[in-house]
Amino acid sequence: MSHTDPEPTGDKPLSKRLEWLEPRAIDLVFRSAPPEKLFANVVRARRSHRFIATASLEEVARVVRETLKADFVGHGEKQGRKLKAVLSAGALHPVKAVILRRNQAPIVYDDSVDQFLSVHVRDAVAFEAFLRTCETVLPDANGHWVALIADSRNVRRLYSNHESLVWRDAGAVIQLMALSAEAQEMAFCPLGVLGGEIVAALLPGTPEIIPVGVVALGRKAGD
Ligand SMILES: Cc1cc2nc3c(=O)[nH]c(=O)nc-3n(C[C@H](O)[C@H](O)[C@H](O)COP(=O)(O)O)c2cc1C
């Protein structure tokens, strides 16, 4: 990890998709609208919840989407840049989310097209190792796990000493997801582990795809 200031390289971002295995678009129906709450109340009420009950995939996906949905996706000169509720160095938004639960197909949120994708597991042993790690860290969380994976290829291209930008972006995503969860009366807790096994489980190996955290999401179960 570099502690040296990042500097722009002057390069331009490239559009490169992540190589998910057999992605299939799934249509989720977001039925009831989340309750209207004052932002100040959401901010003050937010706490980490470690006793978590299972929510529906739609409820979890709504929190992920509220956090990572792009209001603007750049083309031409702005290729590779996005604007979202969450902030990001260079508007590159390297952090992606995958929703995971035992015995269910992983669900990826594709922020370029605002679409959820069901994907296949490449390495079942790594997938099991990921689930075991999460269950060990938060044994009372019976919700979904959301793995945060950074595609650092463009950040690296555009900035020297780029690593700290990626980590700061990941922190911003975790904070906004915590607030989005609270706004929707959902339970949320970050995990200290990075969830590295999930990258091996779902994607071909490359050092530029980095695990940057895992969070638990579900219904509040009282703690
Ligand atoms: C990066 C990060 C990792 C965390 N890892 C864990 C964890 O592994 N287990 C846990 O119970 N809480 C974890 N937390 C939650 C913190 O313990 C919690 O935010 C802190 O105690 C403050 O409490 P609050 O979130 O309820 O305000 C983590 C928080 C962050 C930001």
Domain boundaries of the chain, sorted by first residue: 20-25+45-220
Ligand 1 nearest atom to the CA of residue 178, by list position: 25
Domain 20-25+45-220 class, CATH top level: alpha beta
**Residue 4: exposure state from Cβ atoms within 10 A (0-12, 13-18, ≥19):** exposed
Give the CA distances from residue 75 to residues 80, 88, 95, 96, in Å, rounded to whole numbers and listed in that order: 7, 18, 19, 20
Best of 189, 214, 220 for a ligand 1 pocket test (most atoms within 8 Å of beta carbon): 189
Query: What pLDDT score was predicted for residue 16?
Result: 84
Query: What pLDDT score was predicted for residue 223?
Result: 59
Does the C-beta of 178 come closer than 6 Å to ligand 1? no
Stretches where the chain sits below pLDDT 50 are: none
Output the residue whose Cα is nearest ligand 1's atom 31: 190
Ligand 1 nearest atom to the CA of residue 213, by list position: 1
| pTM of structure | 0.96
Cβ proximity of 88 and 99 under 8 Å: no
53-82 burial, b at 16+ Cβ within 10 Å, e below that, comes to: eebebebbbbbbbbbbebeebeeeeeebbb
Query: What pLDDT score was predicted for residue 205?
Result: 85
134: tokens are: 């999460």
Does the C-beta of 179 come closer than 6 Å to ligand 1? no
Location of structure tokens 């700061």: 168
